[in-house]
Amino acid sequence: GNSVTQMEGPVTLSEEAFLTINCTYTATGYPSLFWYVQYPGEGLQLLLKATKADDKGSNKGFEATYRKETTSFHLEKGSVQVSDSAVYFCALRGAAGNKLTFGGGTRVLVKP
Amino acid sequence: SQTIHQWPATLVQPVGSPLSLECTVEGTSNPNLYWYRQAAGRGLQLLFYSVGIGQISSEVPQNLSASRPQDRQFILSSKKLLLSDSGFYLCAWSLERGYGYTFGSGTRLTVV
């Protein structure tokens, strides 16, 4: 079955530091890949997505590139802010299915 | 535009009491609907999903149930809550594959 593995947190950074959260997946065919963000006490919000190999999703300074050869979708941001403190979830939606499979989430804490 | 409403936002219930959480979607037809649970400090677990009225698929055996009495209404229920039912419950909807989900704001349930 499909699965998503992302690095465990928490990740603690200083403001303006570079952020990378690794995400790798296992799936048959060509899944769609997503990053969701959950701010404290809130639901999940779609951050970015990529639907085919080599696509780059981007939003709010975050980027992730769909790498089929390495089955990865790492999330990056060049300069984080305190407001980026949240839990980040990598997810995939299989080519033939309706369900999203989530990784375990990575908590990011940005200190001023 | 499409919106998703989930209520209540917080709920404290005694062990053995019944549960009913409601989720409604506006602005779309025949959405796929999902219930997820997020235990404290953990990832997301898919509980139920529905592709149409009266069609419910259960992912995890438990004392919870789901119903879809109308196209855009999804209800999560329990006859008798357990302490282990505590968590953050998220409703979501989606359309065709290639798209992510849109999540509601969540219900924080504490069973005491």
How far off is chain A from B19, nearest CA to CA, in Å? 20
Is the predicted pLDDT of residue B98 greater than 90, yes or no? no
Interface list for B 3-62 with A (CB within 8 A): 6, 32, 34, 42-44, 46, 49, 51
Reported confidence tier of residue A94, pLDDT bands at 50, 70, 90: confident
Q: How many angstroms separate the CA atoms of B43 and B6, rounded?
A: 20
Measured between beta carbons, the chain B residues lying within 8 angstroms of A100 are 34, 46, 94, 100-101
B101, A46: Cβ pair inside 8 Å?
yes
Given the DSSP bridges, would you call strands B102-103 and B19-26 parallel, antiparallel or unpaired?
unpaired
Task: Give me the residues paired with residue B70 across strands.
Answer: B73
Q: How many angstroms separate the CA atoms of B99 and B22, rounded?
A: 23
Look-up: residue for tokens 């602005």? B27
Measured between beta carbons, the chain B residues lying within 8 angstroms of A95 are 97
**What phi, psi does A77 have (nearest 5°)?**
-145, 135
Q: Calculate the dihedral angle through the C-alpha atoms of B100, B96, B53, B65, rounding to the nearest 10 degrees.
A: -30
A42, B106: Cβ pair inside 8 Å?
yes
B105 → closest Cβ in A43, A91, A93: A43
The predicted-structure confidence for B8-51, as pLDDT tens digits, reads as follows 999 999 999 999 999 999 998 889 999 999 877 677 889 999 99
- Taking CA–CA distances from A107, the nearest residue in chain B reads B41
Q: How many angstroms separate the CA atoms of A54 and A69, rounded?
A: 10
Given the DSSP bridges, would you call strands B44-52 and B32-38 parallel, antiparallel or unpaired?
antiparallel
More confident residue, A86 or A40: A86
Token pair belonging to A58: 């981007």
